[in-house]
Amino acid sequence: MSEEKKFQHVKIEKVEEGNYAVVSIIRPDKLNALQNQTLKEIAEALETVEVDKSVRCVIIRGTREFTKKPAFSAGADLSARGDTRLDPKNLRHRSHAMYIRHNYYNLIEAFPKPLIAAVDGYALGGGLELVLVCDIVIASRRSEFGFPEIRRGIFPANGGTQRMIRQIGKMRVNRMMYFGEHFTAEQMNDWGFISFLVDDDKFEEFVHEKAFQIGNSATNALFVIKKCIQYGTQVPLNVGLQFEHWGYALNTTSQDVREGITAFLEKRSPKFQGK
């Protein structure tokens, strides 16, 4: 399969020594605005790297080769034509249009390996909703975040109203969504939304360093952490704790558990194989 042939809106690169892959959105002329095709390709790119055992961590980002302004993604492509199969006046078709988009975001969120959102530039609307389905957010200081939808008479319907509220609290989300302002990376960091806030000139190196670290970490344990946090926190505590029981059992079978503990006892750094 030729990746160039298959993907038009995204590009996959593998960084072998880091055991990670980078999925870049390559629509710089539109600040990486998202069409359904873009979301579909991101989900398909993830499927490609999921079955690749040499990939143990994935970065989602906007293209480094920006032509206008740096952007993770400026949100839904406002210039895109709607799905011609759907009747814009039919209520069920309107709902179906959202069902299709939610499915892409859900697929990306359910991806089993750690997903890093590397944000350099705008992360707005649907672009910010894409950040919300990742596990780690690394942002450069020059980045801007926001839900400008209200200024266009629409609202963040790609999971935004539901996922952001679970991150930063109702009054902050209301402020973001009612007024459509942009927020600095520093502000979002203060609100606990960003895992790592990085100086612009250190960004690329830092993203590589963190992906490398995860790519050489204990993959099975990371899988269990991801699923426990993602799904365990959506259920009552006693059910969530069951995720830990099963996750513990599952992780016990991994070779990396033995390696991690043996390395500690032998006073050396562990060499995790992702098995």
Give the binding range for ligand COA (CB under 6 A) out of 96-104, 149-157, 197-205, 207-215. Answer: 149-157
Q: Minimum CB separation from ligand COA for residue 67, in Å?
A: 9
Site for ligand COA in 24-43 (CB under 6 A): 30-31, 33
Structure tokens at 3: 């990746």
Q: Is 47 a catalytic residue?
A: no
How far is Cα 221 from Cα 251, in angstroms, rounded to an integer? 6
Residue 74 contacts ligand COA per CB under 6 A: yes
Q: Is the dihedral of CA 58, 62, 65, 71 positive or negative?
A: negative
How far is Cα 28 from Cα 73, in angstroms, rounded to an integer? 9
- Is the distance from CB of 26 to CB of 34 less than 8 angstroms? no
How far is Cα 105 from Cα 102, in angstroms, rounded to an integer? 5
Instruction: Kindly tell me which residue out of 62, 70, 75, 215 binds ligand COA, with binding defined by CB under 6 A.
Output: 75
Residue 70 contacts ligand COA per CB under 6 A: no
Give the binding range for ligand COA (CB under 6 A) out of 51-59, 121-129, 196-204, 259-267. Answer: 121-129
- Is the distance from CB of 204 to CB of 166 less than 8 angstroms? no
Q: Minimum CB separation from ligand COA for residue 234, in Å?
A: 26
Q: Is 149 a catalytic residue?
A: yes
- Is the distance from CB of 96 to CB of 146 less than 8 angstroms? no
User: Which of 90, 30, 39, 81 lies closest to 60, judged by CA?
Assistant: 39
Residue 160 contacts ligand COA per CB under 6 A: no
Q: Minimum CB separation from ligand COA for residue 83, in Å?
A: 16
Residue 119 contacts ligand COA per CB under 6 A: no
Active site residues: 129, 149
